[in-house]
Amino acid sequence: MQVSQDQPIYSDAPLQLLLFVDGRPKSKPQVQRIRSYLKELQADYNFDLQIIDVGQQPYLAEHFKLVATPALIKIHPEPRQILAGSNITGELKTWWPRWQAAVDAYLELQSGLHENDENGRLREPKSSIRSVAVSAELIRLSDEIFRLKQEKEKLQEQIQFKDRVIAILAHDLRNPLTAASIAIDTLQSNYNPQKGEFERLTPKMTLHLFKHARNQAKTIDRMITDLLQVDRGNEREFPIQPQKVDIGKLCLEVLEELRDRYIAKSHKIKKDIPKDLPNVYADPERIRQVLINLLDNAIKYTPEGGDISVCGLHRTSQKVQFSIGDTGPGIPEENRDRIFENHYRLERDQGKEGYGIGLCLCQRIIQAHYGQIWVDTAPDGGAWFHFTLPVYPT
């Protein structure tokens, strides 16, 4: 009786058996009983046995389509037979005489054939264990090829996405960089270092230029931060540091930060944030990113003179819902799921700044908080983005 725990043995014994085992402690006594019984039989019968750990060689288990272990398989002579269950030793006692009869019939057939090769030597019978090993290896290689093809397609998609993002990002950075540069150049050209003051600029204009340059720098920083965070899209966990957050106050801070942008387009901001809206248990910096992205989109797609709405709702005792609406072109129903993909851009976006990752980032942040994010069509047109966050426990 030959035993191997690693690679399959190559044998031409008339009776060939495979014993599949696993690492479960409960199965060890049963496996020991089977091996002890087979060792007793070895004194009278010539057979080969291979012990196979399914944890080490899963492809052999797949080859035989095993659903449970331990399992004893007669692979030679044909036909193949599988013994499984809680009483393999008992089944083996029943089937062993029949297996020996099958072996005797096989040997008699072989002695009658006596096929010789071209050198006159007796041709050895084909090894079943060898063919099993080859089949298992083919399965393993096939799975590996399939996995590599998937990885190749995924890498190609990532490369294409990154090339596209880099091109769009390079274009989008020009506007805030140019605006910041103009503001800084204006301040520099009007600054008199001897007097320590800005000539030909009122204090109000000076403050406005400083604020404008700072906001443009924040815009650039947000674009780069969003890109880097979505680039880590394969990570299972999105890191957050939740704490007690007044989301209504946080939203008002973001609106103030974006004030110049929506005033420039004469947007009217409609706020419906209840004073008794509960605090949420969330990461303030991450939720700030969500609010900035959603409000940035609302400003971007709302035409001049349009409305932007911000609403809070104590949805349940465990959830707060926050919504941001606009009076822009809206989101077609067939695209409402896809807009959260990290590379998807609607046809309407082609003439707009942005690179199609903001909503993907929003979804990842909200899901990390065990919340939901979705989009609806506003009754008077436009889009309504909603997301939920857990209420801070009191």
Instruction: Write the CA distances from 170 to 166, 174, 260, 301, 353, integer angstroms.
Output: 6, 7, 23, 21, 11
Q: Which of 200, 231, 262 lies at the terminal end of a domain, its last residue?
A: 231
The answer to whether residues 219 and 247 belong to one domain is: no
Instruction: Specify if 133 maps to a domain.
Output: no
CATH code for the domain of 113: 3.40.30.10
Q: Residue 287 carries which side chain, given as an amino acid letter? A: I
Say if residue 252's pLDDT is above 80.
yes
Q: Using an 8 Å Cβ cutoff, are 348 and 335 in contact?
A: no
| Least confident residue range of 32-46, 136-150, 240-254 | 136-150
CATH code for the domain of 319: 3.30.565.10
Q: Which range marks the domain in which residue 175 is found?
A: 143-231
> What are the structure tokens assigned to 109, written together?
């057939």
The answer to whether residues 254 and 345 belong to one domain is: yes
The answer to whether residues 97 and 211 belong to one domain is: no
Instruction: Specify if 198 maps to a domain.
Output: yes
Beta strands in 121-203 (DSSP E): 191-192, 197-198
Instruction: Specify if 274 maps to a domain.
Output: yes
Say if residue 373's pLDDT is above 90.
yes
Please identify which residue in the block is written with the tokens 């070895």: 42
The answer to whether residues 345 and 294 belong to one domain is: yes
The answer to whether residues 160 and 110 belong to one domain is: no
If one compares 266 and 16, the residue with the highest pLDDT of the two is 266
- Separation of alpha carbons 54 and 46, rounded Å: 25
Most confident of 170-174, 334-338, 360-364: 360-364
Host H or E run for residue 293: helix 284-301
Say if residue 309's pLDDT is above 90.
yes
The answer to whether residues 295 and 357 belong to one domain is: yes
Across the range 228-238, mean pLDDT stands at 56
Instruction: Specify if 250 maps to a domain.
Output: yes
Q: How confident is the model at residue 133 (pLDDT cuts 50, 70, 90)?
A: low
The SS3 assignment for 319 reads: strand
Across the range 62-90, mean pLDDT stands at 84
Average pLDDT, the chain: 80
Q: Residue 175 carries which side chain, given as an amino acid letter? A: N
The pLDDT, as a whole number, for residue 235 is 44
pLDDT > 90: percent of the chain: 22
Q: Which of 91, 126, 161 lies at the terminal end of a domain, its last residue?
A: 126
The answer to whether residues 180 and 212 belong to one domain is: yes
The pLDDT, as a whole number, for residue 295 is 93
Q: Which of 231, 258, 289 lies at the terminal end of a domain, its last residue?
A: 231
Q: How confident is the model at residue 342 (pLDDT cuts 50, 70, 90)?
A: low
The answer to whether residues 278 and 372 belong to one domain is: yes
Say if residue 388's pLDDT is above 90.
yes
Helix-strand-coil split of the chain, %, nearest 5:
50, 20, 30
Q: How confident is the model at residue 348 (pLDDT cuts 50, 70, 90)?
A: very low
CATH code for the domain of 197: 1.10.287.130
Instruction: Specify if 55 maps to a domain.
Output: yes
Instruction: Specify if 136 maps to a domain.
Output: no
> What are the structure tokens assigned to 59, written together?
């492809």
- Separation of alpha carbons 3 and 394, rounded Å: 64
DSSP class per residue in 106-139: HHHHHHHH--B-TTSPBPPPPPHHHHHHHHHHHH
Say if residue 269's pLDDT is above 90.
yes
The pLDDT, as a whole number, for residue 347 is 44
The answer to whether residues 199 and 251 belong to one domain is: no
Structurally, the chain folds into a number of domains equal to: 3
The CA dihedral of 239, 243, 246, 252, to the nearest 10 degrees, is -30
> What are the structure tokens assigned to 187, written together?
């301040």
Instruction: Specify if 4 maps to a domain.
Output: no
DSSP state of 228: H
Instruction: Specify if 3 maps to a domain.
Output: no
If one compares 203 and 107, the residue with the highest pLDDT of the two is 203
In 3D space, the residue among 93, 92, 55 whose CA is nearest the CA of residue 73 turns out to be 92
The answer to whether residues 227 and 247 belong to one domain is: no
Across the range 118-137, mean pLDDT stands at 58
Q: How confident is the model at residue 73 (pLDDT cuts 50, 70, 90)?
A: confident
The answer to whether residues 272 and 171 belong to one domain is: no
**Exposed/middle/buried for 158, CB within 10 Å: 0-12, 13-18, 19+?**
middle
The answer to whether residues 152 and 255 belong to one domain is: no
Beta strands in the chain (DSSP E): 15-21, 47-53, 71-76, 81-84, 191-192, 197-198, 243-245, 268-272, 280-282, 307-313, 319-326, 373-377, 383-390
Tell me the Cα Rg of the chain. Answer: 36
